[in-house]
Structure 1
């Protein structure tokens, strides 16, 4: 019977040191790569200061009450073409269904998860109670449509709705 010779290496202090250093080098390298990816893809904060957002809260409540009292009907139609051209049309009426003119509207398409993709749409008066605007290069997907209406520098209307553009 032939004896098999198996060589058993003893575990030395040098082997343990090299293995431990290699293990932590891999862990630290992976953590650094993940941190770098997380920081470069972070879209930013929703509000820069919670304190100032809290102070503005009461003004927003008052503005919302005034908007409800005005009882305006603002109907928006948004249409996105396959090339990314997006048109928005607003029909604005007061509480008695009379068309409202002389207002200044601004619309924003906001990405729910990445504010770097937000797009502003300038809207101009196209007729009595009708306002229109367009934007180029709007991607398909979920957006928040924010519509703000001003009269004499004072916000009179604010609306935010989740929409899906195809």
Structure 2
């Protein structure tokens, strides 16, 4: 049995083991961190057919500019298990609506998407408002509102919202 002598600063098998373990520890740590951040924060959008969506983009942008020229503003509230929507013109007067349909879309998957038809709300403080009972789950949602205001096309209001504890934030 012979004893091996190591000189100071010599790279040994123990050093190699620590280097390899440190390298893979950093790689695994970064991968776990990035995967966690990606799964908890991604609010992308899933479309059925990206080619068709890209072909419709210019037409929808033109419609959006024409709608924006009206100066109308949609007012959406979600609280206490109820969704309410009304539309006011540039002067702040209520725009008479004939019907409102709201589609709640989850940005990353469509399993929880839900279409809700709002009806004219009753009560002294709800003139011009449409309402329905619905409580979306907490999280990020894309809300697509189609309000029939007697135009050739429905007034379209699309927004990204956050629901927290059952209420719009």
TM-score interval (norm. to shorter): 0.5 to 0.7
Question: Match of 1:146?
Answer: 144
Whether contact under 8 Å (2:88, 2:95) holds in the other structure is yes
Aligned-pair RMSD on alpha carbons? 2.2
Question: Match of 2:56?
Answer: 56
Extract unaligned runs of 5+ from structure 1: 1-44, 81-85
Cα 1:115–1:60 shift into 2, 3 Å? same
Measured in 2, the distance between the counterparts of 1:103 and 1:63 equals 20
Q: Could you say which structure has the higher strand fraction?
A: 1
Cα 1:139–1:156 shift into 2, 3 Å? closer
Greater shift in the superposed pair: 48-57 or 117-126? 48-57
Q: Does 1:130 find its partner at 2:129?
A: yes
What TM-score, normalized to structure 2?
0.59
What TM-score, normalized to structure 1?
0.60
TM-aligned CA deviation for residue 68 of structure 1:
0.8
- Moved runs in structure 1, 4+ residues, more than 3 A? none
Question: Match of 2:164?
Answer: 165
Question: Match of 1:78?
Answer: 78
Measured in 2, the distance between the counterparts of 1:113 and 1:49 equals 14
SS at match of 1:92: strand
Cα 1:146–1:73 shift into 2, 3 Å? same
TM-aligned CA deviation for residue 151 of structure 1:
3.8
SS at match of 1:70: coil
Extract unaligned runs of 5+ from structure 2: 1-44
